[in-house]
Structure 1
Amino acid sequence: MKANKLIILLILFISISGYSQIKNFQEIEKYVKEVPKSETSNVESLALYLKKNAKTKTEISARIYFWIIENIEYDWDTFLNNKDIDVSPAATLTNRKSVCSGYANLFKAICDIAKIKCAVITGYAKGYGYKGEKLSDTNHAWNAIKLYDKWELIDVTWGRQTIITDEGEGKLWNSRYFLDDPNDFILEHFPQDEVWQLLVNEISIDAFFSAEMEEKRKIRLHQEFLIDEITQ
């Protein structure tokens, strides 16, 4: 039975391009959890600490991604009640709480100081509460970074998976949205500027909201669920 589970797991890893390479972030996790509080008082000091002794830009980017996930809480009250808040990098870092724009802006600000080329992207996302309808307005922000002459896609907000319990908010790290495959990313994210699809063949917004695309998205989510079940 165990052998069968391993075979199924291998097939799923091969079939989902976003999972085709198993990423080991144990060292990154240890590093970001041990960042001294004294180094997080402002964006510049945090950026310099996250960059310290890193061997590659990919490692720096992963540290930034997981530090934000670990330390910035999602502001559900602002999101659910459509409130206006300061989403600047400084405010997000000070408050330790924000919505997607705050996450994306802070990620870019740290990347800028770390000398990693980064862009904030706005667009349509099939996230919390999405029920298959065509969205009339943009509703999300994420990032792209340039690593070794290639642009990569990142969604820090969705990297932090929230679990609400009787004891309060819990969190899980999700590495999928760190350098995700554009062919998988497009199932849930459609940028206003279509060049940020990073696809060889760009799709239209009608295709993004089509029944065919929605079916592909559901299949992807189901495959992820199966991987979680098998690996538990």
Structure 2
Amino acid sequence: MKYILAFVFYFFLHSLIAQISDFNHIDFNKADNIVKLNEGKDLDNLPLLTFQLTHKLSTDIEKFRAIYTWVCLNIRGDAFQHNLVSRKREKFKNDSLGYIAWNNEFKKSAFKKLLKYKKTMCTGYAYLINEMCFIANIQCKIIDGYARSFETNIEALESFNHSWNAVKLNNKWYLCDATWSSGYMINGSLFVKDYNDGYFLTDPILFAKNHYPLQRKWFLNDSIIERKFTPEPIVYGETFRHKIIPISPKNLNTVITKNHEICFKFKSLSTINNKDISLVRVVGKKHRTFKIYDLKNEDGDISFKHKFEQKGFYDVHLKIKKDIVASYSFEIKKSKILN
């Protein structure tokens, strides 16, 4: 009897890990085509726009797909707001109540600008997704927290700097980030439209690689909820495009001795050929490849090994095809001399 209960508990836990693969049976072409037909529409009548995007779709997942994709493709990132909020976060970094008070006032003008010019930053993206879901009778939440990148929150969670959404579909909660799906900023001044579908209903373990909610329950995974923050390898938008979950080394910074064998492991949620996997070091504009061996690919559980033969400091990057998907830092010391 206890084995049956254990199996049921195991199945229950795993059935709660919500991600896009739950909807492999859904064809999103109809929803995506409706988005194209409504390209460039204004936000002055949000109920009408939401109706136009969803009324021909029969399931909540298709409706949410249309809402999410339309927002990502039709709302631009606002560099001015991005920089202003960044300065205010720095000013109020030791005064959270002061920042909240300022931000509550700022939101009013930010939302007016969003509705008029279709330009915003993360809070606006999350707000718009939430409002349109409410109109479409889809349960949605705005999640506030920390975003981690090669620029911020690298060694510690110091800057409360991001918002995203959780959406409930078929009685399960899913995570998505319309801001990072829509594109990216160059030098904090130029927004580049570049739709990234990898942030749509993302696996919670992958999502947690650079999203840390203030309310830990929104990790949506018990093993992550209980875990303390440690600086893990840096991941990128391309990590989400390729659906890569770095596993080992676990830490961003690693100290080892010369000729110590390092095992790199990651999980791929999509199909990857072994020839597309490499380990590189960036020198100027060139990528110099490290020798890897014992490469294994067992149904997406991928591992390989490398030895650093020279002491020094190395910034090392995992590449899939032409894209860097994870970055690590190694300090290689001389081998210990035993007496």
Sort the TM-score into its range (normalised by shorter chain): 0.7 to 0.9
Q: What residue is the counterpart of 2:56 in the other structure?
A: 53
Equivalent residue runs for 1:79-158 within 5 Å: 79-82=82-85, 84=106, 86-88=109-111, 91-127=113-149, 129-130=151-152, 132-158=154-180
Secondary structure, in 3 states, of the residue corresponding to 1:124?
A: strand
- Letter in structure 2 aligned against 1:116: I
Counterpart for residue 239 of structure 2: 221
Q: Give the length in aligned residue pairs.
A: 205
Greater relative CO (CA pairs within 8 A, separation 6+):
1
Alpha-carbon RMSD: 3.2
Structure 2 CA distance for partners of 1:54 and 1:183, relative to 1, 3 Å: same
- Which whole-Å deviations, capped at 9, do the CAs of 1:68-100 have from their partners, x for residues lacking one? 111110011211233745343x64232200010
Indicate whether 1:62 and 2:65 are aligned. Answer: yes
Report the secondary structure of 2:145's partner residue: strand
Q: Pick one of 61, 65, 74 that aligns with 2:77.
A: 74
Structure 1 residue 198 corresponds to structure 2 residue 220: yes
Contact 1:72 1:93 in 2 (8 A): no
2 CA distance for matches of 1:28 and 1:228? 30
8 Å CA contact 1:104, 1:156 repeated in 2: yes
Q: Is the 8 A contact 1:93 1:106 kept in 2?
A: no
Deviation at 1:108, TM superposition (A): 0.2
CA, structure 1 residues 20+36, in 2 after alignment: closer, same or farther (shift >3 Å)?
closer
Q: Aligned partners of 2:60, 2:20: CA distance in 1, in Å?
A: 21
**Residues 117-168 of structure 1, C-alpha deviations (whole Å, 9 max, x = no match):** 000010111147236231324110001011011001111101112376xxx7
Cα gap change, 1:37 to 1:18, in 2 (>3 Å): closer
Distance 1:149 1:217 in 2: 30
> TM-score, with normalisation over the residues of structure 2?
0.53
Partners of 2:183 and 2:191 within 8 A in 1: no
SS at match of 1:29: helix
Cα shift at 1:67? 0.6
- Residue identity in the other structure for 1:185: F
CA distance in 2, matches of 1:141, 1:222: 17
3-state SS of the aligned residue for 2:57?
coil
Runs (5+) with no aligned partner, structure 2: 1-17, 89-105, 243-318, 324-339
Deviations along 1:174-217, whole A, 9 cap, x unmatched? 11111111111111111111111100223457x33x13xx2274
TM-score computed with the length of structure 1 as normaliser: 0.75
Identity over aligned pairs, percent: 31
Question: For residue 326 of structure 2, what is the aligned residue in structure 1?
Answer: none
Paired with 1:37 and 1:171, the residues of 2 have a C-alpha distance of 14
Unaligned runs of 5+ residues in structure 1 are 1-16
Residue 115 of structure 1, CA deviation: 0.2
Mark the CA change 1:65 to 1:228 in structure 2 (over 3 Å): closer, same or farther: farther
Aligned twin of 1:12:
none
> Could you say which structure has the higher helix fraction?
1
Higher strand share: 2
Higher-Rg structure is 2
